[in-house]
Amino acid sequence: MTENLVDKPYVREADFWEPVEGKPGYVRCNLCHKRCIIAPGKYGACGVRKNIGGKLYTMVYGLVSAAHMDPIEKKPLMHFYPGSSTFSIATVGCNFYCKFCQNWELSQSRLEQGLYGVYMSPEKVIEEAMSLGADGITYTYNEPTVFFEFMYDTAKLAKRHGLYNTMVTNGYMTPEAVRKLGGLMDAATVDLKGGGNKEFYRKIMGVWNPEPIYETILEMKKFGWFLEVTNLVVPEIGDKTEDIRKLARWIRDNLGEETPFHLLRFHPDYKLKNLPPTPIKTLEELAKIAMEEGLKHVYLGNLWGHRLENTYCPKCGYPVIERYGFYITAWRLEKGNKCPNCGYKLNIRGEFKGELRRPRFGFF
Ligand code: SF4
């Protein structure tokens, strides 16, 4: 059984593991802050990293469960190569157990219950991405940390072909894993939920302590990754104003007041179908609090047509980019991403790419 498995192309020895002293055959995974201790023959908490014969293996190298061309704004990354198209890939598995997950078929799928995906080598991913005219690759849909080795090899190749790399992550990767990605990753959307409230993380997401996320974000910043932070607002249980205030302050003080901050509307899904969608009023009030704390780019997500989908110049308030959902409907910035009204240079990486309202969806 063991020999058959390690011969498969999607089973590779993992990065970031060590034997556990005094426990022969056991390994510790250091890829995420859960730092699972895994008995022989068992999986880690993410369900896709397995101890086979005293070594840790990833079971999802190249085992692609979803591959789509998406607008970069869907990640959401509003200030990174706006208007560009990104080839987005996923495997299965996740180190979190969020009861509201919208991709739970992927994230909570466990390999013990059978394999799920089609093998694609990093070379094949790049070939497909380039044939579709992608500007970059995004590692997303399930938590990309759990397919680290595949992400790393693909990111290296993407760079060689002039493509950018971005990831959508819960931020629970260890700083040592962030360091290995280093300059290969260009941007990350770090997804927080419930304002980072500890009790919320414990009860609703199966995460004992969210605090290490902040350490990981700071490590990403050291390598110059362009960062946007999202926060899912879950009504009744994850919408406390003091949590948003605290989070907004942390972003302002550590990442800068011009860091894009997205408050995302919750939709009932998976195990939280009993709650209503987040009231628009709640989102607007929380946005106001984030702005009061000094954040200059506060967006509301999953709320197509709202004025807080647009970008306003932080200096003069002029509407410089207008959006409808994932589409840019008006682009008024001048060369160098400067406000046409007052000349202020906005915190945007990359020039506007694409056409207004150009459809950028495609399926592989
Ligand atoms: S990546 Fe998976 S196996 Fe490794 S520490 Fe995190 S949950 Fe555990």
Q: What pLDDT digit, counting tens, does each position of 156-195 carry? A: 999 999 999 999 999 999 999 999 999 999 999 999 999 9
Task: Assess whether the C-beta atom of 36 lies below 6 angstroms from ligand 1.
Answer: yes
Can the peptide bond before residue 76 be classed as cis, meaning omega within 30 degrees of 0?
Answer: yes
Average pLDDT (326-353) is 96
Provide the residue type at 47 as one letter.
G
- The pLDDT value recorded for residue 264 is 98
- How many CA atoms are closer than 13 Å to the CA of 233, on its beta-carbon side? 29
Q: In which band, very low, low, confident or very high, does the pLDDT at 76 lie, cut at 50, 70 and 90? A: very high
Q: Is the Cβ atom of 27 under 6 angstroms away from ligand 1?
A: no
Query: Domain-by-domain residue ranges, the chain?
Result: 2-58, 63-363
Atom of ligand 1 nearest to the CA of 56: 3
Asked if residue 206 has pLDDT above 50, the reply is yes
Does ligand 1 lie within 6 Å of residue 34's CB atom?
yes
Answer whether 56 contacts ligand 1 (Cβ < 6 A).
no
The mean of the pLDDT values for the chain is 94
DSSP label at 59?
Answer: S
Q: Quote the ligand 1 centre to 19 CA distance (angstroms).
A: 14
Closest ligand 1 atom to residue 95 Cα is 7
3-class DSSP assignment, residue 270: coil
Q: Which pLDDT does position 363 carry in this prediction? A: 45
Atom 6 of ligand 1: nearest residue by CA position: 32
Say if residue 112's pLDDT is above 80.
no
pLDDT tens string 219-242: 999 999 999 999 999 999 999 999
| Nearest Cα to Cα of residue 89 among 131, 58, 115, 126 | 126
CA pair distance 169, 33, nearest whole angstrom: 13
- Confidence band (pLDDT; 50, 70, 90) for 110? confident
pTM of the model: 0.95
Q: What is the pLDDT of residues 299-329, one digit of tens each?
A: 999 999 999 999 999 999 999 999 999 999 9
Q: What is the DSSP letter of 95?
A: S
Beta strands in the chain (DSSP E): 12-13, 17-19, 27-29, 37-38, 49-52, 55-58, 63-64, 66-71, 85-90, 118-119, 136-139, 164-169, 187-193, 226-233, 261-265, 298-301, 311-312, 319-324, 327-331, 362-363
Backbone phi, psi, residue 282, to 5°: -60, -45
Atom of ligand 1 nearest to the CA of 34: 5
Residue 340: predicted pLDDT: 98
46 lines ligand 1 (CB under 6 A): yes
Kindly state if the Cβ of 28 falls inside 6 Å of ligand 1. no
Token representation of residue 81: 């190569």
Contact 195, 229 (CB under 8 A): no
Dump pLDDT digits (tens) for 280-292: 999 999 999 999 9
Reported confidence tier of residue 361, pLDDT bands at 50, 70, 90: low
Q: Say yes or no to pLDDT of 115 above 80.
A: no
* Per-residue confidence band for 116, with pLDDT thresholds at 50, 70 and 90: confident
Residue 154 has pLDDT above 60, yes or no: yes
Residue 107 has pLDDT above 50, yes or no: yes
Task: Kindly tell me if the per-residue pLDDT of 358 is higher than 90.
Answer: no
pLDDT at 18: 98
Task: Give, in order, the Cα–Cα distances in Å from 288 to each of 226, 245, 292.
Answer: 24, 10, 6
Q: Which residue's CA is the nearest one to ligand 1's atom 3?
A: 44
Residues in CB range of 360: below 8 A, 6 or more apart: 69, 70, 71, 85, 326, 354
| Structure tokens belonging to residue 297 | 């780019």
* Terminal C-alpha separation, the chain: 33
- For the domain 63-363, what is the CATH superfamily, name and number? Aldolase class I (3.20.20.70)
Q: What is the pLDDT of residue 1?
A: 43
Ligand 1 center to residue 164 CA distance, Å? 26
Residue written as token pair 């005219």: 133
What is the arithmetic mean of pLDDT over 117-144? 96
Phi, psi of 137 (to 5 degrees): -120, 140
Q: Are 277 and 283 in contact (CB under 8 A)?
A: no
| pLDDT tens per residue across span 33-66 | 999 999 999 999 999 999 999 999 999 999 999 9
What average pLDDT does the segment 80-101 reach? 95
Q: Give the pairing of strands 66-71 and 63-64.
A: unpaired
User: Could you tell me the two tokens for 67?
Assistant: 């591959």
